[in-house]
Amino acid sequence: MTIAYWCVLVAVFIPLLFAGLAKSRGDFDNARPRRWLEQTEGWRQRAHWAQLNSFEAFAPFAAGVIIAHLADAPQASVNVLAVAFVLLRLGFGAAYVADRPTLRTLFWTAAFACVVGLFILAGIAGT
């Protein structure tokens, strides 16, 4: 398995990391988790939002890695973009929880650029 494929596996767990942070308070209601999460405030609420955004970001990233592999894009470049995506998404979540919106946006944009880069590599390799 390539480094990029391992990064897809790691990216599966990023939303769970932030979900765990959001639910870390002792009174978490597992019978009604969505209702409980909607009522959180402060950093727990932001951790929940980071969780939701991480789920949203996963599908395009996984598709980009798979498509780059299928197109026979240069593996070293695919690996670099995949590792960068994972690190940037972790930074995104940390900035979200820490209430640093400008930094969060920079991390989000750079991670999104990694996804676009994967598709560009696939397009170049596939021509």
In tens, the pLDDT along 57-101 reads 999 999 999 999 999 999 999 999 999 999 999 999 999 999 999
* pLDDT surpassing 80 at residue 127: no
Segments forming the whole domain that contains residue 18: 3-125
* pLDDT surpassing 90 at residue 124: yes
The structural domain count of the chain equals: 1
Query: What CATH number did the domain enclosing 96 receive?
Result: 1.20.120.550
- The pTM for the full model equals 0.94
- Listed in sequence order, the residues at least 6 apart from 106 whose beta carbon sits closer than 8 Å to its beta carbon are none
Give pLDDT, residue 33.
Answer: 84
Q: Are 124 and 70 in contact (CB under 8 A)?
A: no
Residue 52 to residue 121: CA distance in whole angstroms:
28
- Pair of tokens at residue 58: 């996963």
In tens, the pLDDT along 31-42 reads 888 888 888 899
Q: Which of 75, 76, 78, 103 is nearest to 91 (CA)?
A: 103
Q: Are 54 and 14 in contact (CB under 8 A)?
A: yes
* Residues 1-24, mean pLDDT to the nearest whole number: 96
